Chains A and B, each alone.
Chain A
Amino acid sequence: MMRPRFILFIALGGSLLWSGCDQGPHVVSRTQYLMGTLVTVTLVAPSEEEAAAAFEDAFQELRRLDQMLTTFDSGSEVNRVNAAAGKRPVPVSPELIAVMEEALAVARLTEGAFDPTVGPLTALWGFEQAEPAVPAESAITAARRLVNYRDVILDRAKGTIFLKRAGMRLDLGGIGKGYAAARVAHLLRERGFPGGIVAAAGDLQIFGRKGDRPWRIGIQHPRDRNRLLGSLMATDQAISTSGDYERYFERGGQRYHHLLDPKTGRPARDCQSVTVVTAEGSRADALATGLFVLGPERAKALLRRLPGVEAILMDAQGKAWVTPGLEGAIEGFAP
């Protein structure tokens, strides 16, 4: 008979070994600077090798989308449309047509608070420039008059986009990252990965699970960098945040952030941050921008008639409001 002390010893050793091996799912991440920001791809993967090949393809796809959507490269599809504004329709890829259809749908929903033709204003403010400055009022007025999503003629049959007036400029900065995150997440899921997150700055597309549990997503507090607003457990969802604290400059004690209201031509002032949770990344991204610009009251009214969209709004005074579907779902909620 085996002596009991050996049984105890083996049981103890075995349990310690077991706890050492039970590290949960194998999760790997890679980060690159793309689309003017940090993009991190996180995957549940059986091995480093399989993940490495997938990361390569994911970042390749992100570079392709960046080349299509960017306004920083004169050869991009978007800039070819911009160059022909007021002159002629430009043949584009079916993919850009699809992105524009979604952009215009959100523009209609938000009555132009999100507007893909905001390009003349973003170019004028130059948040990406080395030394951005507050533009002259006359310049803001002139740029503002060139912004109107209703002047985009999208011909799906011919596959063309036409900007009706000279000087108009598409800027898909408010939807492109969400679209790209969703697209790459879709590719990774198709390759058989059981779960992952594509995070293009604040625009996340989450798929599957982290082993046996959902992914835990923290939400940045808009006024305290060292704090979170709370966290959400997410599986197959897109989460996007638009905040006045991410891209901004200060002049004369005033903060000028990059979320411009097409109606005033100036940074929207009624929210500190808006987080949107919905199925698709492009919609989450564009709606976060649109709801931020709309301001809390109009945003709440719109959210009440949008099924499948949840949101957290922080108004200019730091007061939080969440859609009924998120009530009780935010862990450690501390606005």
Chain B
Amino acid sequence: MSIRQTLKLTTGGDLVLLLAMVALTVGGLWSLGWSSPHGALAVIEVEGSPREHLSLRVDRVLSIHTERGTNIVEIRDGRIRMVDASCPNRVCVTQGWIRHRWEEIVCLPHRVTIRIRGLEEEYDAITR
């Protein structure tokens, strides 16, 4: 059967079904963060294990307490930063805001990492 014949036999119901499926797929991907060039989610890890998963769409400030000290994290306007830390060198605080999927903030003294995550990683590793 040719494509032309198939199209002739396609009913309005088929088209509705097709459009619904496309809409569901696009909507699903959108909600998972493909819409944004930036990551939709920040993961805060302590000693390499995830402690918090935070949406970058919700502005907030929170404290991360570890046995080595405390880090204060702030999310605002789709970005995240370490706003304060009780670590000695505060390199993590001076790093400022991050928002791209490949970026990370590392507080080596406290072993706290902030990573940005999306549905699909753009880069497999970063040399820095």
Contact = CB atoms under 8 A, between A and B. Distances in A.
A241 B122 contact: no
Interface in B1-51: 1, 5-6, 9-11, 13-14, 17-18, 21, 25, 45, 47-48
Interface string A23-36: 00001001111001
Given A5-B9, A31-B113, A226-B98, A199 B1 contact: no
Interface string B48-67: 10000000000000000000
Given A31-B48, A225-B103, A226-B100, A8 B128 contact: no
B106 interface: yes
A16 interface: yes
Interface string B76-111: 000000000000110100011111101100101001
Contacts of B124: 27, 42, 197, 210, 215-217
A4 B99 contact: no
A241 B125 contact: no
A332 B95 CA distance: 23
B106 A12 contact: no
Interface centre among A33, A130, A204 (most CB of B within 10 A): A33
A32 B106 CA distance: 12
**B contacts with A: majority SS:** loop
A249 to B, nearest CB: 6
Give the size category of A's interface with B: 35 or more
Given A4-B10, A30-B48, A131-B88, A217 B97 contact: no
A329 to B, nearest CB: 14
A228 B97 CA distance: 15
Interface in A244-264: 246-249
16 contacts: A3-B9, A8-B14, A27-B124, A38-B106, A38-B108, A38-B113, A42-B124, A131-B88, A199-B125, A199-B127, A204-B127, A215-B124, A217-B127, A218-B122, A220-B126, A220-B128
Interface of B: 1, 5-6, 9-11, 13-14, 17-18, 21, 25, 45, 47-48, 88-89, 91, 95-100, 102-103, 106, 108, 111, 113, 122-128
Given A33-B108, A225-B95, A228-B123, 12 more contacts: A32-B48, A33-B48, A38-B108, A38-B113, A132-B89, A218-B123, A218-B127, A219-B126, A219-B127, A239-B127, A246-B128, A275-B127
Give me the 6 closest cross-chain CB pairs, A-B, nearest first. Answer: A220-B128, A130-B88, A218-B123, A31-B48, A4-B9, A241-B127
Interface of A: 3-5, 7-9, 12, 16, 19, 27, 30-33, 36-38, 40, 42, 130-132, 197, 199, 201-204, 206, 210, 215-220, 225-226, 228, 231, 239-241, 243, 246-249, 275
